Structure 1
């Protein structure tokens, strides 16, 4: 599966919430001008740096991380094509987290004031940005629950199902371009523990994994073992004003 969506990635994402008119589509497409390429494992914005811009992700995978004083790292968000990096930090002068690429990435930086201009020109997009931000917050809350209350096996099973749902793949196979260290930093596990947990899932006949290639053998089993409920990922809402 390609990690790049056709036409406009951001329009594709926002269209999940509402039928966009031509004016709204053009405003969103304007956020995808001047794309820049980034190598894998490269910072796009540093923690503590001046928060001047957002990034629209056109292709590739990226993440948001926080690093503690002792060097431990926590991955807070995994970003896929069409997402905007930095929305949760909109009210802060300094970046609360680092944005880092997981793969080769093409992204479009744009200044923060551009959002204000969009809100002035298309008020309904304000609603949709709010819904997008709420969905990202729900994913973060679920990750907190995952880390705090689920076992290692449950965490990894839940994460695998979440990524399948977010990628919207029709088959049971997909690529997870995250090494065991990054997965561990996402689930608060050591890389050794991640390796052992993958083995448990393989031994139970739930999945196969090989260098980032994931093949789900028993989706219902993964859902049952992890208690996965996709409500926090659903993007349908009647709250936004109508066109």
Structure 2
């Protein structure tokens, strides 16, 4: 994998939220924030704070497990790089993976059509998405995490899309999406990258501390940012003292 350019956390949050905004958690005020999500201005601090709060409504528990020194990069993938990519090990993916979360191994297993029941229905949805991607190219963003660009990466967001693209062809998977990657020397401390007991225990404690997630309180963030903007405007219009 090759680093193309450094990007900011607000840029990544904006893309993550855009991919998640169809979810039920946003039904209550979808129209209210739709423009903020779909036409993000990541140079605007007030907008960035709101998008972060909206994302945390659904994914705060996920974001907190990323190391604080995580750097975000736009990445270029070449032939063979997908062998380093693992799916995010959750829900149905654990059964579909059957022990190996390397995305190439999962795609090969799906092609062998070894599934029954709910797993078969899940795989059928992946095939449906695969056919859709072949006809309509997807310019959305996939998010990976890792220690550095030379070591294995885990998909933080985009399991379905990347797997579906690979079911079509490796060429489609490499060309279809924008790839961003969070890199940190401490990424192995995140349960999303390494699922082990110490990491899961840390995750459980963080979930307990944030049962009521103040960072996801959009109205509170609106109040804070509005007050800050008002104070800034007042200062800029105040007459200079002589």
Give the structure, 1 or 2, with the largest relative contact order (CA under 8 Å, sep 6 or more).
2
TM-score, normalization: structure 1?
A: 0.24
Q: Which has the higher strand share?
A: 1
Q: Which has the higher helix share?
A: 2
TM-score, normalization: structure 2?
A: 0.24
